[in-house]
Amino acid sequence: MSDTHAQTVAYVRDTMLPEQSPPSTAAGPIKWAVENLFSSVLNTILTLVSIYFLWAVLAEVLPWVWHGSWTATSLRECREVIAAAGREHGAACWSVIGERYLQLFYGFYPSDLYWRVNLAFVLMLVALAPVLFSNLPRKMLWFSALYPFVAFWLFWGGSIWTPVVILAGFVLGFLALEYLSKMIGSLGGVIAALLVPVIWWLVLAGPVATGLHAILPIGIEEVESAKFGGFMLSIIIGVTGIVLSLPIGILLALGRQSDLMIVKAICVGFIEFIRGVPLITLLFVASTLLNYFLPPGTTFDIVLRVIIMVTLFASAYMAEVVRGGLAALPTGQYEAADALGLDYWKATRLITMPQALKISIPGIVSTFIGLFKDTTLVSIIGLLDPIGLTNTIRADSNWNGIVWELYGFIALMFFIFCFSMSRYSMYLERKLKTGH
């Protein structure tokens, strides 16, 4: 080749080829299926067997679900409609859900007062939003703190001064902690912060609320707890137990690790006793025995008694979950807090507890989910949660004998709530993941 020809040939690319998508087997669903479902002979066999099993189950379940009746007014009529369609009893009778769904959601709460329940649940979402999502304005936390008292008034009704004087007890406890701690020490301040609200609620709250209502009568129609039921009751007990058990569990976990012998003994005794007793036993105590420990003539709402017992039960388990998170922290974290000159409470609030809670997220959410599902146990003591209402619905001669449709609908609703909590847990873990 001549030198002149060699100088005219360009060996540096001056144009780029257009981008092309990767082969279908190297990206997307096909790549995922190859790597996860058909990566070996054994995985391929297991995948095919699983697909056949799912097909066999769904082939029976889906027609039963989709071809059910929604228009019948009784189980007998529903079966006649299904049989006329050539399916005999091979389809669901969803008519019972269409007829009784309000009862499954609200129990026997007065229908003209459903707006109060709906408003309370909408406000609950607003109150939970700044707690669950940190990008919202922090000022909304003030409403989150006030919401329990607003919800109590909306659900039970009566005088508005009742939740006000209950709230005043917490304010007095905070003031006692804030000012008495400087005079009698931090431990004395904590004890005072616990005793002052209890004395206020047991001795002064009732007369003060009665006096304020006599001066300025503001209230709404009162609804007794016997009319509470359905998913409304489960959500009230579950959400209240979830919200209260976390801070109580944190205090119990810190108390169990305390160097103060009395505080540690009380926390250990409480945790071990509660964890050693079945929840159903505590519910029976709440429904029958708790009134014996109250002053004569005292009436204590059964739903509030159950909420207290469920909260205490969940708090004991929550304490162990949080203690596990604290135990998982490296010793250097405690030493770093000491090196910065932080006192116990600041070190706990700023350094150790945030990391312990982050580690404990799966266990915390698992406890929450278990607590929410355990609310169905209240049917054993006569409260009409969704499971308890199924007996009431089946007692009607029109629906006597129907089972699967009611339990299937209740299971679906519980799955939606529990799956949502699980998804939020995964979101929170991804958000707080710092990596290594």
pTM, rounded to two decimals: 0.83
- From first to last of the 436 residues of the chain, give the pLDDT tens digit: 455 555 555 566 677 777 777 666 666 777 888 888 888 899 999 999 999 999 999 988 888 888 888 888 888 888 888 888 776 557 889 999 989 999 999 999 999 999 999 999 999 999 999 988 888 888 888 999 999 999 999 999 999 999 999 999 999 988 888 887 777 776 677 788 888 888 998 888 889 999 999 999 999 999 998 899 999 999 999 999 999 999 999 999 999 988 888 889 999 999 999 999 999 998 888 888 766 766 666 667 889 889 999 999 999 999 999 999 998 888 888 888 888 888 877 888 888 888 898 889 889 999 999 999 999 999 888 888 999 899 889 888 889 888 889 999 999 999 999 999 999 988 888 887 765 4
- What residue spans define the domains of the chain? 96-114+230-432
96-114+230-432 is classed CATH 3.30.470.20: no
Please name the amino acid found at residue 153.
Answer: W
